[in-house]
Amino acid sequence: MRQFVWGVLTTESALAALFFLRFWRLSGDRLFVYFALAFAAMTINWIGLSVMDPAFDSGHYMYVFRLLAFVLIIAGIVDKNRRSQRG
């Protein structure tokens, strides 16, 4: 059951990344690129967790991709706010 749920989460993260790339192409707003990259990092995270053996003790390294995703979201929001304050 766990593999199925991780597969669904992988698919949904990849779809969200594709949607944000589409929104970026339509609007040209960099915030959508940050969100697309964040969801791509989440996709890598879910793929890694589903492929990794649960007995393998270094599974916590896969969460670096999740951390990267959240840092990208925060960086995108900060970038958007700084650009809107300038002009």
Which pLDDT score is estimated for 33? 97
Q: Which residue range is the domain that position 60 belongs to?
A: 2-86
Percent of the chain with pLDDT over 70: 94
CA distance 81 to 8: 33
The predicted model scores a pTM of: 0.88
Number of domains in the chain: 1
Tens of pLDDT, residue by residue over 20-64, are 999 999 999 999 999 999 999 999 999 988 888 777 766 678 889
pLDDT confidence of residue 50: 85
Task: Provide the CB-side half-sphere exposure for 71 (13 A, CA).
Answer: 7
> In this predicted model, what pLDDT tens digit does every residue of 30-41 receive, in sequence order?
999 999 999 999
Residue 1 has pLDDT above 90, yes or no: no
The pLDDT mean for the chain works out to 91
